[in-house]
Chain A
Amino acid sequence: MKIAVSADGATLDAQVALRLSTAKYFLIVDIESGEFEAVPSSINRHQRGAGVQTIATVISRGADVIITGYCGPGIVDQLKENGIEMLTGIKGTVKDTLTHYRTAAADQGRALSRENGRNAITHAIKNSARQFASLLPVLLGVVLLIGLFNTFVPNAFLVSVFSGNTVLDSLWGTCFGSVLAGNPMNSYIIGGELLKNGISLFAVTAFIVSWVTVGLVQLPAEMTALGKKFALLRNGLCFVMAIPVAILTVLIVNIAGRWIS
């Protein structure tokens, strides 16, 4: 089993970091063999998604337990939801901490495991409610704008943009989907309402596909993380791919629909 210890240095003689968010390193220690790896921390506590980053960093190294001085309750909850045991309030060197941990591991591990089991359903309900509630405001805004769109935008305008040409309609759908971003559900709702307004399913499908696969808004972040060449090429390929995916989807639906009926 591996343990991640937040630390102020890259050796076992380093002090356990006072806060998870300000740790300079994670020491990933194999508790059986004693071997360890020092991973520099890139977590920024003011940045959105810090919890996911922490979890991802730790799990990608195969650790199941995190030991630290203090950690915000938000991250603790996220770690528990992902089955990571969290031990806080720890002071001293990493080496001493590991010695204490080995001594108490069995009892402590069982206790935490029982607690995680009891709280699993409560956490799932709370987490779902939080996720669901976060969807609603933007969803409401989208629905309100669709009401305005349906009432105030004349069909003649839509017909002038979406001419009925399969490839051109798909291209327009891809362009709109590429510049817009957000939860995919909003693309389904907007797409569904466009369909009711007579826009072709080709255009709507291209719009839905490119909404998630092409991200002009996130392009700078993707370029920074994965490289300029990777980000530009991937987004370009996804843009092009949205058109055949849309055309094939509609053709399959039409053919299968006829076959079923």
Chain B
Amino acid sequence: MTRDNTKSSRIASVFNYTFLFPVSAAVIYAVLFFITPDATLLALAGSGKILLNMVTPLVLIFVVMLLINLFVKPARVAKFLGTDSGIRGTILAAVAGIISTGPIYAWYPLLKDLKEKGAGNYTISVFLYNRAVKPFLLPVMIEYFGWLYVMALIVLTFSASILVGCAMAYVQNR
């Protein structure tokens, strides 16, 4: 297969995967419109309202995303993930999880490699748990749940990551 063919098939695959879901939703709307047009239009109006409410958080998301891309180099997290499971190691693993981007399966080879080099269950578990906190998505979370909720959830997520990490380390060392 030539490079152009490979590239175009990859683009086509990504395009199909990305748009399959919204297109499927649109097809469901089209079918329902013929069965019950009033309720379908009501559903569409409801979706439109949700989208309108999301304009401000989405703009904020883009701004935070831009700042992160400008000043944070996510792939550098590899340097944060060592074998240290003390306070410093915990914070670094948590920060690495928070700033890591991209699909989780892209990180598995690195985590496997780190594990082989001595990184323990604790560090890897803390890293994986803290991927739940994504700074650039916080505007949407705050819009729906408020500041207080988001702060409480972040603190508890970090605390839970330590508990999960300790349990994983206990099993590893048993």
Contact = CB atoms under 8 A, between A and B. Distances in A.
**Mutual binders A and B:** yes
Interface of A: 42, 46, 48-49, 52-53, 55-57, 59-60, 62, 78, 81-83, 120-121, 123-125, 127-128, 131-132, 134-135, 137-141, 143-148, 150-152, 183-185, 188-189, 191-193, 195, 201, 205, 208-209, 211-213, 215, 218, 221-222, 224-226, 229-230, 233-234, 237-238, 241, 244-245, 248-249, 252-253, 256-257, 260
A59 B143 CA distance: 37
Interface in B120-174: 121, 124-125, 128-129, 131-132, 134, 137, 140-141, 143-146, 148-149, 152-153, 156-157, 160, 163-164, 167-168, 171
Contact of B132 (A145, A193, A213, A224): A213
B74 A209 contact: no
> Size band of the B side of the interface?
35 or more
Given A53-B109, A225-B108, A193 B50 contact: yes
B91 interface: no
B168 A147 contact: no
A52 B156 contact: no
A245 B74 CA distance: 27
A222 B25 CA distance: 30
A255 to B, nearest CB: 10
Given A141-B25, A151-B42, A59 B140 contact: no
A218 B74 CA distance: 21
In terms of DSSP, what is the predominant structure of the interface of chain A?
helix
A184 B46 contact: no
A33 B32 CA distance: 70
8 A-B pairs closest in CB distance: A49-B106, A147-B47, A192-B144, A225-B108, A141-B22, A151-B43, A55-B75, A144-B25
B144 A52 contact: no
21 contacts: A52-B107, A53-B109, A62-B79, A78-B75, A124-B66, A128-B65, A137-B18, A138-B22, A139-B54, A140-B25, A144-B47, A146-B47, A147-B46, A147-B50, A151-B46, A183-B137, A184-B132, A209-B157, A221-B104, A234-B128, A253-B152
B86 interface: no
B152 A52 contact: no
Contacts, number: 218
Q: Is the interface of B mostly helix, strand, loop or mixed?
A: helix
Contacts of A221: 104-105, 108
A127 B112 contact: no
Given A147-B45, A151-B39, 10 more contacts: A42-B109, A49-B105, A59-B79, A135-B61, A141-B24, A146-B50, A224-B108, A225-B112, A226-B111, A241-B163
Contact of B66 (A42, A49, A128, A226): A128
B61 A60 contact: no
Contact of B110 (A60, A83, A195): A60
Given A146-B50, A151-B39, A82 B73 contact: yes
A237 B164 contact: yes
